[in-house]
Homo-oligomer: A and B are copies of this chain.
Amino acid sequence: MSLESVPPKYAQLVHALQRRIESGDYPPGSLLPSENQLIQEFGVSRPTVVAALRVLREQGWIESQQGKGRFVRGRPARSTDRPRPGQAYLTAPESDTPGELLEVGVLAAPNRVATLLGLEAKSKAFLRRRLIARDGEPAEIVSLWLPLEVTEGTDLTTAMPLDEGIREHLQTRKGVRFDHVAEQITARMPTTQEGRQLGMPRNTPLLAVYGTVKDASGRALVAVEVLMPADRHELEDAYPIG
């Protein structure tokens, strides 16, 4: 059986037009061929052409003006799919990233984490902390904090690297579903232990990213803390302006 699924026509058209824009064939500011011209050239119907152009507009490649036509803007500044810090640690198996398991166990959550998880101050929570290495050097300390009732009946409490993502694990074992993440970014000086673990020079601050994963009802499921030496790592982003 040949099950080579071909992408839908409108997606093919999106791809073709993106290539023409990137190659400079359709330079920024120029007028895109009209709907009728695209219908003729690609041999598809108008709804298909319109669907492709809608995708391109929503992704920021082009903008349209009724009565005039559609204008090329150029490759959008990473409109979508930006890698959020910490997000990888929620979905990817631990075995995917080289690193060392620093701490696994139940202990009193710091104030900030307790607040993020909606727990009372000084309540106990489950911690899973890893030192991530990049290019053979320690790069980040990633801490996952989970309320005790979330970890019940899971394998997260083992001191072994998980070969399944946290997200998948919790979904299958507990039936909880990740819905959105609330993110906070701040900076502080490292503790002496953190400075040693990350091999940081003196007087260098830490960039700290806190992500709280919640389900659709707003209940906090996991808090992720990512600590990065600010002299080596930066957070990057880009977004279009209205």
**A interface residues, Cβ below 8 angstroms from B:** 28-29, 58, 60, 73-74, 76-77, 84, 87, 178-189, 203-207, 213-214, 216-218, 230-231, 234-241
Given known contacts A29-B216, A217-B74, A205 and B180 CB-to-CB distance under 8 angstroms: no
Tell me whether B205 and A187 are in contact (CB under 8 A).
Answer: yes
Q: Shortest CB–CB separation between residue A110 and chain B, in angstroms? A: 15
Q: Shortest CB–CB separation between residue A171 and chain B, in angstroms? A: 12
A166 to B213 Cα, complex, angstroms: 37
Tell me whether B235 and A185 are in contact (CB under 8 A).
Answer: yes
Q: Shortest CB–CB separation between residue A39 and chain B, in angstroms? A: 18
Chain B residues in 8 Å Cβ range of A189:
203-205
Tell me whether B84 and A186 are in contact (CB under 8 A).
Answer: no
Tell me whether B230 and A180 are in contact (CB under 8 A).
Answer: no
Q: Shortest CB–CB separation between residue A181 and chain B, in angstroms? A: 6
Report which of B76, B206, B217, B238 forms a contact with A181, defined as CB distance below 8 A. B238
A188 to B189 Cα, complex, angstroms: 10
Chain B residues in 8 Å Cβ range of A178:
241
Chain B residues in 8 Å Cβ range of A206:
187, 205
Report which of B73, B180, B186, B213 forms a contact with A207, defined as CB distance below 8 A. B186
Given known contacts A217-B28, A234-B185, A73 and B239 CB-to-CB distance under 8 angstroms: no
A238 to B184 Cα, complex, angstroms: 9
A84 to B237 Cα, complex, angstroms: 11
Residue of B nearest to A54 (CB): B54
